[in-house]
Amino acid sequence: MSDPFASFDALELSLTFADVEPGEGQRWTTWPTTIPTQRGPLPRPDWVVTDAGALDTELGILKTGKEADVFLLERAVPDDPAQRTLLAAKRYRGEETRSFHRSAVYTEGRGVQNTRDARALAKKSSHGREVAASAWSIAEFEALCSLHELGAPVPYPVQVNGTEILMEFIGDASGAAAPRLAQVRAPREELAGYFAQIAELMRIFAAAGFAHGDLSAYNLLVHDGRVRVIDLPQIVDIIANPQGLDLLHRDCVNVCDWFARQRVDCDAEQLFADLLAASFA
């Protein structure tokens, strides 16, 4: 007969914290405070640290924005070099999130499943402000999960906890972030290869019924010859959102305008037509 306490003992053992205390700029890992729906899709990459004895250490800021800031975070188990990873911690601000640039344009067609939350949002109560503060982080996390599973080149989403998303850090082991496409200086042939990658990732989005909604050379990263797309809270359902096709077209124009200035042959209208074909296939 199996021991009814065996699974409990195993869980207790896995939750044993290291014999250290968090220092300045540190906290215990927030992984144990999340539930399965707040964690990234399976199978998880080997580098994801899930040990409850890990510490999160802030290493600096990567980016500031109007609605969120991104920090560099190390999640590591003390005295275990094999369990160490760098993460990007994107933290949305509280009430300021409501001033997200043209937010109503992006949220048309989205619903709020919880009726209490919907009423609170409408009344702008204190609970409603809390809902609004976390709405963008949840939307971005869910988009990252969906697109990662479709094979799109997005950072792997590790977890979401309130207004904070932890995701794969795109950069090197020293903490140097990958450059934005706008910062890249490369031969025209190399840039043409990047354009082909971007057209393909836009096709993956479109085939799933989505447009980035704010795509530009500033939210595309280039790392080890591969283009990665970031900043997805405003992702648009091109069917449910009345302005979805307009936003998809704007993404095409923004991308092609930048590449045209780099003397790369591209046609925004042809790209748009190709993406429409993918979205309605």
Q: What are the catalytic residues?
A: 214, 231
The contacts of residue 85 (CB under 8 Å, 6+ apart) are 47, 48, 49, 74, 75, 76, 169
Rounded Cα distance between 51 and 74, Å, is 13
